[in-house]
Amino acid sequence: MGGVNVPDDLRYSNDHEWVRVLDDGCWRVGITDYAQDSLGDVVFVEPPAQGSTVNAGDPCGEIESTKSVSEVYTPVAGTVTGVNSALEQDPALLNSDPYGEGWIYEMQPDAAASLESLLTADAYRALIGE
């Protein structure tokens, strides 16, 4: 296959979410290039509710594409601190810019949450066979 973008500076979940640690300590979460490519054209995104408490591995939102409906999972436990409202108007940002403008939500991870529990870029590449 080849050509799937897996930035080295992010961490990844087995469920094809990525995590970027922001300057304020919050984590920004989205779906990977591999996931958006598998989904096809995204037509609707339902992010988790701002302020909601989420548990690691739990579904917290939905992505609807022309092919299917898929759940968004939480990489670690924490509290949702913000959602990307731009996706309401333009859900296709998930396809065009999954690691940038197409982020889904931000969260404050629980104190026990660790980036070490997530995959490195190399481990994620191995997972998807890149």
Instruction: Fill in the amino acid letter for 27.
Output: W
Residue 22 domain-assigned (yes or no): yes
Kindly report the backbone phi and psi dihedral angles of residue 107, in degrees, each rounded to the nearest multiple of 5, phi listed first.
-140, 155
Residue 85 domain-assigned (yes or no): yes
Which domain CATH number covers 27? Answer: 2.40.50.100
pTM of this structure: 0.95
User: What's residue 119's pLDDT?
Assistant: 97
User: What's residue 95's pLDDT?
Assistant: 97
How far, in Å, CA of 34 to CA of 119, rounded? 15
User: What's residue 112's pLDDT?
Assistant: 87
User: What's residue 1's pLDDT?
Assistant: 42
Residue 7 domain-assigned (yes or no): no
Residue 126 domain-assigned (yes or no): no
CB contact at 8 A, 118 and 74: no
Q: Which domain holds residue 104?
A: 17-114
Residue 110 domain-assigned (yes or no): yes
Work out how many domains the chain is built from and give that number: 1
Side-chain half-sphere exposure of 123, counting CA atoms within 13 A = 14
Residue 92 domain-assigned (yes or no): yes
Residue 56 domain-assigned (yes or no): yes
Mean pLDDT, 10 residues at a time, the chain of 130 residues: 84 97 96 96 97 95 96 96 97 97 97 92 96
Residue 95 domain-assigned (yes or no): yes
**Which residues are registered as beta bridge partners of 109?**
78
